[in-house]
Structures are given as C-alpha cells and as structure tokens.
C-alpha cells in the first residue's frame, strides 16, 4: 500500500469532532474544579476558561477547528495557540481516557433528552389520531389472519403504549449514563487532591464513577443507550410495516400524503410507501450499531484500549437515524386518514363474530371448548353454502346445537353486529369506546408527567 497514513488510521478527529461542545464544557468544569481545589491559580484558570469560551464562540459562528489526532488534542492545541503555554495546565489531573468517557456520557445524555422529546411528540400524534378515529372499526389480526374487530383508535393506542415503555427505558438508562468518570485519570486516579463531586455538580451529573478502572474502560452505558434506540426502532418497524400493508389496494385502509410516497420508474399507476420502507431499513443500521458496540467491548481486558475510540460512530449513527425516523414517522402519521368504508367492509369478512357466538353459548352454561366446536361447525357450513353469520336463519343456527329447546334466539343477530361486538369488549384495556377513551386520558396524563 502506497502512502499509507497511519496517523489517519489511528486518529478519530473525523468523527469525534462532533463532541467539541461537550468536550469544551467538560474542560471548563474541570478547570473550575482545579481552581477551587487550589491546584490551579485563579488567574490561570480565568485565562483558560476565557480561551475555551472564545473557541466555543468561534465554533458557534461556524468556524472549524484545525484537524488533529482527536478532538481533545485539537481543542487543547487551539487553546494554547490563543492563550499560550498556560493552556497546557488545563490537562492537570486528568487523562484523555476519563475525558473521552465524560464527553460521551454528556453527549448521550443530551441525545436521550432529545429522543425522549421526539417520542413524546409521536405519542401525542398517536393520541390525536386515536381521538379522531374512535368510531372507525377495522379488523384486528392474529397471524395476519382476520380475528376480531377493533377500533382503529385502539390499534393506534397500542403503539402509544409501546413508546411509553420505550421512554421509561430511556429514563432508566439516563440514570446510569449520568455518572461522572472525570477525575479517574488514565486508570488509577490521580495524586492531586481533586473534588470530583464538585465537577459532577457543575456538569449536572448525579454522582461519580466509584472505580477508576471501570470509569475509563466500560461502555455499557453506550450499549444500553443503543439497545434503547434499537427497541424504539423495532416498534417503528412494526408501525411502518402496517402502513405498507394498509396502503396496499388489497387492504386500502388508509391514505397518506403523497410526499411520503413515490411513483414507479416504469409503472405510472403506482404510489410506493417509500418512507415507511426506509424506516424499516434504517432499523437495520440501528440494530447494527448495537451489535458493533457489543463486539467492540467484547473480551477487552481492563483498562482503556484503543478499540474504544470506535465506540462513537455507532452511537452517532444510531442516534441520528433513530431521530430522523421518529420525525418522519410522526409527520407521516399526522397525514394519515382511515378509509372507514373499507376498514368496516373488511371487518365484515372472516367470520370475526365467531368468538362472540361462542361466548353467547358459554353464557348459557355450555363449556367454552364445546361452544368453540359448535361455532367451527357453523363456520364450515357457511363456507360451504356461501353464507355468513348474518344471512343464516335462526333454524340453521339451532341445528348445530339440537336440544329440546332452541338455544339460539333472535338476540343472536344483534350480538353479531360490528358495533355490538366492539361495545361488549368492556374489560379494562379492551377495544370498547369507553375503554379507549379511558386509555387516551391515562396516556395523556402519563405523557405530561414523563
């Protein structure tokens, strides 16, 4: 290989430069601690902090740091260029090992907060759509086969509940992220009498890492973060897949805005659900980031190893793609409209009142398993004679359960209407309108609190 650049190979500036803001904020807090602990003179500390703030101000105006091995050295070198050799005192009582671990925790903490807000936004759109579609009946499926009718609102609220658990996982992950490694130095701590708790307070950490070896060498907090993102992405793939199915003319349950679809390059009649498909695809990258982090940390001896500089690209990529997916999914959902005539027509198919008829028999003291078999016979008869539950006569119903007195009465015909089936699902968490309204109210309160 000609002209192989080993510095470029081992360097990380190309990707860790996006940590520049948190790196500078961490350094400012570290210098403030050094001054408080009388390790650094107040005048030197003030000069260093002013220099760091000037770099931060330049960056916010669009200026880019010159390329170095990594972002930490780039900031330090620029600081010394601006204020002289005193800038080198900034690195007292720390190593790049605890510095980078701190930077990554600060970055992930910010990303957790941003992702949480996007999840909340998506949940609120789900609630709004559920409110709008409390009267829309659609088929519920198991094994992708027609099972029982449900309200479209009930279906949407299932995703809101999934996302609620996703937020809880993020909040729990944040507790373990929000612990300060800074002050652990390279691996063994430092001989300077520093105040790590003061630094933690300045940076908004809840506490400090209790073991210096662990502080610099583990990335379980990043792995957990990637897992949380993967779970959200997983839930988005389920939502996206249903958009793809529901848009298909064989279903035709929904319409979404054209901007979330594309035409075919050869078939002019088609509108392809591209955004939903890309959301599904991006989940693969997010899952891959989780697996990459697991593999990077796997079998690493204590303490810091250079392998760990490769932890950042997977974290960045997973966070970027998950946030983008949430934003697109939210906008796509906001444009979604159910085609009520099609969902209800579909819900009339597939003998979806079967469970209600079985329950009707159970209420007359017939064991459920026996009732189940009777309904199976009725369905077989309907299929053989091109009939459905609503077109059977009362005499036909009763021939499947011959007794001295007819067990089926005229009330069976009211029972098998879609509206009646929905109305009777009165158990908590069920699909009745009353239950759905309770779910919406409960979720609104949860979303406000968390």
Q: CA 354 → CA 149, 176, 301, 432, distances in Å?
A: 11, 49, 60, 17
Paired strand residues for 368? none
Structure tokens that stand for 117 in this block: 């807000």
Which of 14, 264, 335, 442 is an active site residue? 264
14, 91, 95, 143: the catalytic one is 143
Q: Is 191 a catalytic residue?
A: no
Residue 264: active-site member: yes
Q: Nearest to residue 410, comparing CAs of 353, 343, 338, 360?
A: 360
The number of C-alpha atoms within 13 Å of 293 and in the hemisphere containing its C-beta is 25
Question: CA-CA distances (angstroms) from residue 209 to 86, 105, 216, 332?
Answer: 29, 12, 9, 42
Whether residue 326 contacts residue 239, with contact meaning beta carbons closer than 8 Å, is answered with no
Residue 435, CB-side half-sphere exposure with 13 Å CA sphere: 17
- Tell me the catalytic residues: 143, 264
């Amino acid at each position: 290989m000609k002209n192989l650049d080993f510095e470029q190979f081992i360097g990380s500036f190309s990707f860790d430069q996006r940590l520049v803001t948190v790196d500078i904020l961490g350094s400012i807090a570290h210098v403030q601690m050094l001054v408080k602990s009388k390790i650094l003179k107040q005048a030197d500390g003030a000069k260093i902090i002013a220099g760091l703030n000037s770099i931060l101000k330049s960056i916010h105006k669009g200026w880019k740091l010159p390329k170095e091995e990594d972002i930490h050295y780039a900031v330090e070198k620029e600081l010394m260029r601006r204020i002289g050799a005193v800038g080198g005192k900034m690195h007292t009582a720390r190593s790049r090992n605890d510095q980078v671990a701190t930077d990554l925790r600060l970055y992930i903490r910010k990303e957790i907060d941003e992702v949480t807000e996007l999840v909340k936004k998506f949940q609120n759109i789900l609630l709004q759509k559920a409110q709008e579609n409390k009267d829309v009946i659609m088929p519920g499926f198991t094994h992708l086969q027609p099972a029982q009718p449900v309200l479209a609102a009930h279906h949407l609220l299932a995703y809101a509940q999934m996302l609620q658990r996703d937020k809880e996982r993020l909040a729990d992950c944040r507790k373990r992220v929000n612990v300060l490694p800074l002050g652990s130095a390279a691996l063994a701590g430092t001989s300077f009498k520093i105040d790590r708790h003061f630094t933690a307070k300045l940076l908004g950490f809840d506490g400090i890492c209790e073991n210096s070896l662990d502080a610099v060498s583990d990335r379980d907090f990043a792995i957990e973060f990637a897992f949380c993102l993967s779970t959200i992405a997983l839930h988005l793939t389920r939502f996206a897949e249903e958009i793809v199915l529901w848009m298909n003319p064989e279903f035709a349950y929904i319409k979404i805005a054209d901007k979330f679809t594309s035409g075919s390059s050869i078939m002019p009649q088609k509108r392809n659900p591209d955004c939903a498909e890309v959301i599904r695809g991006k989940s693969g990258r997010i899952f891959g980031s989780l697996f990459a982090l697991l593999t990077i940390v796997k079998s690493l001896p204590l303490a810091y190893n250079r392998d760990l500089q490769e932890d950042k690209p997977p974290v960045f990529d997973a966070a970027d793609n998950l946030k983008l997916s949430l934003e697109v999914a939210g906008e796509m959902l906001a444009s979604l409209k159910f085609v009520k005539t099609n969902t209800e027509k579909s819900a009339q198919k597939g003998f979806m009142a079967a469970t209600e008829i079985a329950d009707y028999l159970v209420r007359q003291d017939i064991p459920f398993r026996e009732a189940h078999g009777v309904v199976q016979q009725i369905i077989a008869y309907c299929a053989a004679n091109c009939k459905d539950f609503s077109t059977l006569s009362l005499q036909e119903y009763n021939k499947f359960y011959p007794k001295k007195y007819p067990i089926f009465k005229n009330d069976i015909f009211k029972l098998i209407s879609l509206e009646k089936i929905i109305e009777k699902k009165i158990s908590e968490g069920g699909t009745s309108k009353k239950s759905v309204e309770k779910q919406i109210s409960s979720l609104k309160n949860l979303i406000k609190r968390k």
